[in-house]
Structure 1
Amino acid sequence: MPPRSEVRRRPRVRLRLSVAGLAASAVLAALVHPAQATGTPPAPDRGLQKQLDDLVRTAGGPPGAIALLRQGDRTSVYRAGVADTRTGRPPRTTDHMRIASVAKAFSGAVALRLVDRQKLDLDDTIGELLPSLPAAWHQVTLRQLLNHTSGLPDFSTAPAFLAILQEDPRHHFDSRRLLDFVADQDLLFPPGSTYAYSNSDNIAVALMAEAVTGQPYERLLAQLVYRPLGLRQTSLPQGYRLPRPYLHGYDVTPPAPPEDISEVIGASGVWASGGIVSTPKDLNAFVRAWAGGRGFLSEGTRSEQRTFIPGAASEPAGPGVNAGGLAIFRYTTRCGTVYGHTGNFPGYTQLAVGTADGRRSLTFSINTQTSKSVKPELLAKVRAVQEDFVCALLRN
């Protein structure tokens, strides 16, 4: 049982809870994530640093922020504020953090690599692979799950699911039964007719991957993503603990001091839709491959991945104009286009993007939550800063 002081702190977290925002390998690793340069890193951009400093000074803003830019084999790291308000230490590229809905890109990576191996097909249906799910859902395809046009109701908004979290944020769910919370519901619309972001989609994607391989999703992540890309500090936990060291996540509600909520909520209730823990360094390596790294996906599968729905925004929206593909989003900014995913979870907001050739990548992490429903004004400021970092990424 948690200490009483922690229990007293939980009500504010529960009221703000938003789960909806809620990895030949040696050759492949060399292709999709080249070794870091050993020479002198590029000089920092003072304008970017000032924007990050201003962001952490914003009322209600994050206690800390870290952005990692890779341009070819050169890396620039910008950080502001603190990773831990108790010790005052700055954020580091090796700090563990909840990557929230960027985890959906990982489930997409598992699925599309299985497509390349002819274990899955984008036109495979729930009825064919997961016949125990409601008959009303059986015509939904893997493609529709990956681009959020399935119509599956979102389990993370189901009253019964939220009631359990309200009672015990650390409740251990059976991650493979999360769709049971909406199994009595019909589809929200005919499959393929409308875009609607849903956490249920990526749970079904992971279950499909398990069905055709006979292996747990966690093992598939290791085999198909972590090991080929050399991601040594990325995992999908079930509990509420974070590996040390970690970027602490906070609820920031002035005039109260920031409240550490890093380990208030368990990961089993988001699983393949948002439960992955990674580091800025690992996440940056992943998004290079996911956005365009050579050898990670075949040309044909990459083309399918980049079939975009105009106006389909990630949650939260990323910089510029958003469009949605297969577990990837296109962000068209004033300086050019990048591809990736965003995420938000109590205590964290994430952006991970890369260029179409996989040569440039950016991860941008702050340690408080913001979304269209949680601090929308802060989100607008974050998106503006993110766009300036994208411009720096794309600059020759």
Structure 2
Amino acid sequence: MPLMPLPRPRARIRTGARPRPRLLRLSLVALLGASCLGGLLLAPSAGAVAGGSGGSGEDALQRQLEELVATPGGPPGVIAVLRRGRAPRVLRAGVADLETGRPIEPTDHMRIASTAKAFSGAVALRLVQEGALGLDSTLGRTLPRLPRAWRSVTLRQLLNHTSGLPDYSEDPDFLKLLQENPRRTFDPRRLLDFVADEPLRFRPGSRYRYSNSDNIAVALMAEAATRWPYEELLRRIVYRPLGLRDTSLPLGYEMPEPYMHGYAVEPPAPPEDVSEALSASGVWASGGIVSTPRDMTRFIRGYAAGRLTSGAVLREQRRWSEGASEPAGPGRNRAGLGIFRYDTRCGTVLGHTGNFPGYTQLIAATPDGRDSLTFSLTTQVNRTLDPALLEQLRAVEEHAVCTLLGGQRR
């Protein structure tokens, strides 16, 4: 097992119940950043190795993790869980908590951000297999209370982000409420009401645009088709079959213990603990799940391999089109149904990324689910906040994929 590097010296950590204006700005960037993709870079990530570290394998990856933590604006902590078959390897740098210096553990809770969209994808695709929904089921037929202008949007288009739905997280009224009280508990089933008076952004199916509204609508369709709450569908369809014991979808802001603390890092200001700054209710099925690296490893191995659905539905899920996750994952990104394909210089993995104030995530696995990677940072990284840091992160992620795959093209 690799040695745990000593935490680098840090300035005094700001904590407290009431987020300051800098945090509010970061929170809004988090919500807006996912929607403003346009022509996002889909080419392979810049640079084969981040930070100038040569070599290959776990030793080189460990050095890159340490360099990432030492980078100005970088995460206070990072953990990578690589699992080949039954043999997991844990690499990490920095700490889970800057005040105590506690190292990150695979059993630490964290906000999984937009990797939660893979969970709503898993629920929807299982319901397609069972006939409760179809990929061509429309909002108009399944959720007639939603605006008539949206009625032709299909489940397939929601899952691959070609729906054209306006993003509720860009709405001025939603953002105003968030600014007034970041810990406000929203009614997650009414989030789309913020944009109910808006037309579609484009003709459904005509283009790609990553939107937080899509997965809210997916969860609502699942509830309408089954008359079960989305949280119960997660338990029945995802958590229990895959053995996820530490995964939940809360509506509040509190984190279960133990957890890796998430920080807003904007040098030269001291890092600010934002782990419990925002309520998860404002993102719900689009990004509100709390889990652990251990559970996320179990999830992506089963999800990528299609263990939760049939072969026929899996083939539909893997009809790839142009589109990238947010933030962009390693290599060339392409979009499927509730999943992305990452073509790297060492081979292909399937998965999802996500970012939320204090956290950045990548989960990925080979298409057979045998080899997997869970990569978690304790700060938010995206192209809006720091494009250079994102490119460094993507290069490290690609090296992690190469380490996972043994440097061999697959």
Q: Fold conserved (TM > 0.5)?
A: yes
**Alpha-carbon deviation of 1:269?**
0.4
Aligned to 1:332, the other structure's residue is in SS state strand
1:297 and 2:309 correspond: yes
Alignment of structure 1 residues 128-277 onto 2, 5 Å: 128-277=141-290
Determine whether 1:344 maps to 2:355: yes
Q: Is the 8 A contact 1:21 1:343 kept in 2?
A: no
Distance 1:388 1:127, change over 3 A: same
Instruction: Tell me the CA shift for residue 206 of structure 1.
Output: 0.2
Kept in 2: contact 1:21–1:344 (CA 8 A): no
Matched AA of 1:14: L
**AA partner of residue 307 (structure 1):** R
Instruction: Give the Cα separation in 2 of the matches to 1:14 and 1:375.
Output: 17
| Paired position in structure 1 for 2:368 | 357
Q: What amino acid is aligned across from residue 13 of structure 1 in structure 2?
A: L
SS of 2:31 mapped into structure 1: coil
Q: Does 1:80 align with 2:90?
A: no
Aligned counterpart, 1:104? 117
What are the Cα deviations for residues 121-151 of structure 1, in whole angstroms up to 9, with x where unaligned? 0000000000000000000000000000000
Deviation at 1:9, TM superposition (A): 4.3
- For residues 274-289 of structure 1, what are the structure 2 equivalents within 5 Å? 274-289=287-302
Specify every segment of 5 or more residues in structure 2 that has no aligned partner in the other structure, as ranges.
1-13, 35-56
**Contact 2:354–2:362 (CA<8 Å) still a contact in 1?**
yes
Contact residue 150 and residue 199 of structure 2 kept, 8 A: yes
Residue 332 of structure 2 corresponds to residue 321 of structure 1: yes
Look up the match of 1:19. 31
- The 3-state SS of whatever aligns with 1:238 is coil
Task: State the Cα distance separating 1:257 from its structure 2 match.
Answer: 1.6
Q: CA deviation at 1:192?
A: 0.4
Pairing 1:65-76 to 2, within 5 Å after superposition:
65-76=78-89
8 Å CA contact retained: 1:20, 1:198: no
**Do 2:342 and 2:348's aligned partners in 1 also have CA atoms closer than 8 Å?**
yes
Could you tell me which runs of 5 or more consecutive residues in structure 1 were left unpaired when the two chains were aligned.
23-43
Q: Distance in 2 between matches of 1:316 and 1:219?
A: 29
CA deviation digits over 1:91-118, x for unaligned, max 9?
Answer: 1100000000000000000000111111
Alpha-carbon shift at residue 291 of structure 1 (Å)? 0.9
- The number of aligned residues is 370
Give the structure-2-normalised TM-score.
0.88
Task: Using the TM superposition, give the Cα deviation of residue 19 of structure 1 relative to its aligned residue in structure 2, in angstroms.
Answer: 2.0
Q: Is the 8 A contact 2:19 2:277 kept in 1?
A: no
Following superposition, the deviation at residue 357 of structure 1 comes to 0.6
CA drift of 1:378 comes to 0.9
Per the normalisation by structure 1, the TM-score is 0.92
Q: Distance in 2 between matches of 1:162 and 1:291?
A: 34
User: Aligned to 1:342, what secondary structure does the other structure show?
Assistant: strand
In 2, Cα distance between equivalents of 1:8 and 1:316: 27
User: Could you say what secondary structure the match of 1:377 adopts?
Assistant: helix
Q: Which residue of structure 2 aligns with residue 121 of structure 1? A: 134
Provide the C-alpha distance between the structure 1 equivalents of 2:33 and 2:117, rounded to a whole number of angstroms.
11
